[in-house]
């Protein structure tokens, strides 16, 4: 519950249910989940495979809509948004860091970071911002490297820079340290901390890594589509 000194949540969910129909069966991936994500918060979602973590992340990122229940973004019910509005909102408010990064192999690190803003017709500003972000994540000397010339941690940092190019309020990270050694993982977590303190970016991460969960402000445990503990 929000108290007087807590800021309004960026994203709030009430009794959120998400069902899938596969092979004539209905699978309830999320079964009445409540959540609220506030600015600068670091939330770790943990749970076994198939517990609904990815489904929750998709709902938080407006990639999916709930079967029932309510997801609010800035007080607005996202189920009233059409596809175009959801797309625009994603672009404005959400940054994604995918588990396998999904960098475009033929583009340089810099070009990959620019991709979300490529169609904005602001090539000069976009390039300046992409350069600044890569410098920020410590890749100022790798701007023109292709993804296959980068290590796992460097790719992760390119993916993070790409997620930040539109200046999001909410950063969604799927297993951000999954493929990384501890030191590299630490540097990613430090980066998240900096973003939260400097820009009030909320970070939600899905992880199996207890080390990440320990670093989080709050841990949400999902089991069979329900929040436990």
Partner 1 sequence: MSLRHRLGGSVPVLVAALRNVSRAKLRSTLAAAAILIGVVSIAVVGAGGEAFKSGQLQRVESQGATNVYVFPGPDREREYFTREDLVEIQETVGTTGVVATTTRDGQWHRRSDRSEQVSLNYVESAAALRAITPVERGELPSTWRRQAVVSNRFASDHGLAPGDRLRISTGDESAQTYRVVAVLSEPTGGVGSAEVYLPARALDDRQYDRARVLTGSADEAELTAALLREEFNERRDRLLVFELTSLLRLFTQVVNGINSFLVGIGAISLVVAGVAIANTMLMAVIRRREEIGVLRAVGYSRGAVVRILLAEAGLIGAAGATAGVALALPAVMVANAAFLGDPLAFTPGAVGYLAAAFAFGVGISLLAGVYPAWRAANERPVDALRG
Among 14, 19, 27, 58, binds partner 1 (CB under 8 A): 58
Q: Which stretch binds partner 1 (CB under 8 A): 162-170, 175-183, 207-215, 218-226?
A: 162-170
Q: How far is CA 101 from CA 32, 116, 162, 200, 219, in A?
A: 30, 14, 10, 23, 23
Report d(CA 56, CA 76) in Å as an integer.
18
Residue 104 lies near partner 1 (rule: CB under 8 A): yes
Among 7, 123, 140, 152, binds partner 1 (CB under 8 A): 123
Total residues in contact with partner 1, by rule CB under 8 A:
33
Residue 147 lies near partner 1 (rule: CB under 8 A): no
Residue 91 lies near partner 1 (rule: CB under 8 A): yes
Q: How far is CA 52 from CA 62, 67, 172, 206, in A?
A: 15, 14, 15, 10
Q: Which stretch binds partner 1 (CB under 8 A): 71-79, 110-118, 145-153, 221-229?
A: 110-118
Dihedrals φ, ψ of 3, to 5°? -100, 180
Residue 132 lies near partner 1 (rule: CB under 8 A): no
Identity of the residue, 172 or 202, whose beta carbon is nearer to partner 1 in the bound complex: 172
Among 68, 106, 151, 197, binds partner 1 (CB under 8 A): 106
Task: Give the Cβ contact number of residue 136 at 10 Å.
Answer: 17
Sheet hosting strand 170-174, strand order edge to edge: 94-97, 170-174, 202-206, 42-46, 218-223, 226-228
Residue 175 lies near partner 1 (rule: CB under 8 A): no
Sign, CA torsion 92/134/196/58: positive
Residues in contact with partner 1 by CB under 8 A are 54, 58, 61, 63-64, 83-84, 87-88, 90-92, 95-96, 98, 102, 104, 106-107, 115-116, 118-124, 126-127, 162-163, 166
């Amino acid at each position: 519950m929000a108290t007087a000194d807590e800021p309004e949540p960026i994203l709030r969910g009430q009794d959120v249910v998400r069902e899938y129909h596969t092979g004539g069966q209905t699978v309830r991936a999320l079964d009445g989940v409540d959540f609220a994500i506030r600015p600068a918060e670091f939330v770790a979602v943990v749970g076994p495979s198939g517990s609904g973590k990815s489904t929750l992340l998709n709902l938080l990122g407006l990639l999916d809509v709930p079967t029932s229940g309510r997801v609010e973004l800035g007080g607005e019910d996202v189920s009233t948004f059409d596809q175009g509005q959801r797309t625009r909102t994603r672009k404005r408010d959400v940054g994604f860091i995918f588990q396998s990064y999904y960098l475009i192999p033929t583009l340089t690190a810099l070009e990959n970071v620019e991709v979300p803003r490529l169609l904005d017709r602001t090539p000069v500003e976009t390039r300046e911002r992409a350069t600044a972000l890569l410098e920020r994540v410590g890749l100022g000397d790798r701007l023109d490297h292709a993804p296959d010339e980068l290590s796992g941690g460097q790719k992760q940092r390119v993916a993070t820079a790409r997620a930040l190019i539109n200046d999001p309020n909410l950063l969604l990270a799927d297993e951000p340290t999954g493929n990384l050694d501890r030191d590299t993982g630490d540097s990613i977590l430090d980066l998240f901390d900096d973003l939260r303190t400097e820009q009030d970016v909320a970070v939600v991460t899905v992880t199996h890594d207890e080390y990440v969960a320990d670093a989080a402000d709050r841990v949400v445990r999902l089991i069979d589509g329900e929040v436990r503990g």
